[in-house]
Amino acid sequence: SEGPVSFSDNAVTVLNEKKDQMVGMNSNAASLSDAPTLAFPSISTSDFQFDHEKATDIIIEKVEEFLGRIGNARLVLVDLTHRSKILSLVKEKASKRNIDSNKFFTFVGDITRLYSQGGLRCNVIANAANWRLKPGGGGVNAAIFSAAGPALEVATKEQANSLLPGSALVVPLPSISPLFIQEEVTHVIHVVGPNMNPQRPNCLKNDYLTGCKILSDAYASLFEGFASIVR
């Protein structure tokens, strides 16, 4: 009832992963589950209050643009619950396009526990960061900094002290980080999206002309960053 099988749910994905692992031994191509994989949250659509229809249009557009440029690598949009409006909009929109569901799919789970709890191996995860690149603040940012431990904060600070909305920063995760050890995450890519929340810095006050441009740039920088790791 949720659309084509290709954009179904976690069960199908994990089943595929298991199948890949089993056939992996005698297959000459690398199995799908070994393919470099970027797990990313929907940037700006919770704390930053960006419109969900506009945001999901941009996700689909940018995914389509980048899938052709990252070889066998995969992109996975993650959210916490099966009731996620973002995930249902993206599934609906993706199923209307010719997007390869082995290379782009949605997944329900905590982005800091995708392998240990969800059985989905993602070597790179994206963070919906704040411009100061500070831990805390709630949402996915608080979860990632907390799960990664102080090593992520140190590694981030080595690269930058702030990040402009619409840009991304690739941070190699030190091997002492619990996220590296337990989840096999090797890189975190911080992304700062456009903010429509008057309680947060740099609020765009519903200027969606600027906001959509910044969100497009944010996904382009994120996927570009992932491509640079994969290459």
Report the C-alpha gap between 32 and 18 in whole angstroms: 10
Q: Which stretch binds ligand AR6 (CB under 6 A): 16-24, 27-35, 137-145, 177-185?
A: 137-145
Q: The sheet that has 104-108: what strands, in order across it?
A: 104-108, 74-79, 37-41, 124-128, 187-191, 168-172
Nearest residue to 63 (alpha-carbon basis) of 28, 26, 38: 38
Query: Measured from the CB of residue 46, what is the shortest distance to ligand AR6 in angstroms?
Result: 3
CB 58 within 8 A of CB 65: no
> Interface mask (CB under 6 A) for ligand AR6, residues 161-200, using x and -?
--------------------------------x------x
78 binds ligand AR6 (CB under 6 A): yes
Q: Is 68 exposed, middle or buried (0-12, 13-18, 19+ CB in 10 A)?
A: exposed
80 binds ligand AR6 (CB under 6 A): yes
Query: Measured from the CB of residue 192, what is the shortest distance to ligand AR6 in angstroms?
Result: 8
Interface residue with ligand AR6 among 33, 56, 101, 130 (CB under 6 A) is 130
Q: Which stretch binds ligand AR6 (CB under 6 A): 26-34, 78-86, 175-183, 213-221?
A: 78-86
73 binds ligand AR6 (CB under 6 A): no
Interface residue with ligand AR6 among 119, 139, 174, 178 (CB under 6 A) is 139
Query: Measured from the CB of residue 146, what is the shortest distance to ligand AR6 in angstroms?
Result: 10
CB 105 within 8 A of CB 76: yes
> Which backbone phi and psi does 106 adopt, to 5 degrees?
-105, 155
Nearest residue to 87 (alpha-carbon basis) of 48, 56, 49: 56
Query: Measured from the CB of residue 57, what is the shortest distance to ligand AR6 in angstroms?
Result: 16
Find tokens 């709630």 and name the residue: 138
Q: Which stretch binds ligand AR6 (CB under 6 A): 5-13, 17-25, 77-85, 150-158?
A: 77-85
Report the C-alpha gap between 54 and 211 in whole angstroms: 10
Report the C-alpha gap between 215 and 209 in whole angstroms: 10
The letter for the amino acid at 182 is: Q
Q: Which stretch binds ligand AR6 (CB under 6 A): 3-11, 104-112, 148-156, 171-179?
A: 104-112
Please report, as residue ranges, which positions from 199 to 218 form the binding site for ligand AR6 (by CB under 6 A): 200
Six-digit token pair at 198?
A: 């008057």
> Interface mask (CB under 6 A) for ligand AR6, residues 32-51, using x and -?
---------xxxxxxxx---
In the complex, the residues that contact ligand AR6 under the rule CB under 6 A are 41-48, 78-80, 86, 110-112, 128, 130, 137-141, 143, 193, 200
